[in-house]
């Protein structure tokens, strides 16, 4: 017994995070492994959640006017920031292809060094945040 808790109730977050980080396969590994439970370090504690109670807006009879003129002109491209859809489609296909590789291929690029030309990693704040984000980045 430790502090009144049975040994199996003692949670070692650092150990669980290290095991996750050492796997160097990111969040997708959780899905691919057939895991049926969410690792505890990914569960946000209730006290860290934003308050969802919102006061209703005050009743008004004013309808706001939003002017959307100028969006159709060539010099004001908003969709995809002017990047051709062919490039966006290629980028998405490349990211999917990378993520579908076997873990042993992806691990070659696993690194938290943002200065590298290719960096594949999970949360930068895994060891300090109360709950890690469900994020793996390329």
Instruction: Name 7's Cβ contacts closer than 8 Å, sequence gap at least 6.
Output: 1
Task: Please give the Cα distance from 73 to 137 (Å, whole number).
Answer: 35
What are the distances in angstroms from CA 15 to CA 3, 18, 19, 22, 66?
A: 19, 5, 6, 10, 53
Write down the mean pLDDT value for the chain. Answer: 75
Closest by CA to 46, choosing from 123, 126, 135, 131, is 131
Residue 89: the pLDDT is: 93
18 versus 118: the higher-pLDDT residue is 18
Is a pLDDT exceeding 80 seen at residue 129? Answer: no
The yes-or-no verdict on residue 77 having pLDDT over 60 is: no
Q: What is the pTM of this model?
A: 0.51
- Residue, of 45 and 94, whose pLDDT is higher: 94
């Amino acid at each position: 017994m430790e502090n009144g808790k049975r040994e199996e109730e003692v949670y070692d977050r650092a150990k669980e995070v290290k095991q996750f980080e050492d796997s160097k396969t990111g969040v997708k590994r959780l899905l691919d492994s057939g895991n049926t439970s969410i690792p505890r370090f990914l569960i946000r504690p209730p006290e860290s959640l934003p308050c969802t109670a919102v006061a209703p807006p005050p009743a008004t009879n004013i309808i706001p006017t939003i002017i959307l003129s100028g969006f159709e002109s060539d010099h004001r491209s908003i969709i995809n920031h002017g990047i051709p859809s062919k490039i966006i489609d290629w980028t998405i296909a490349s990211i999917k292809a990378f993520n579908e590789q076997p873990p042993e291929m992806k691990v070659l690029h696993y690194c938290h060094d943002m200065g590298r030309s290719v960096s594949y990693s999970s949360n930068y704040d895994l060891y300090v945040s109360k709950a890690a984000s469900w994020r793996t980045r390329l």
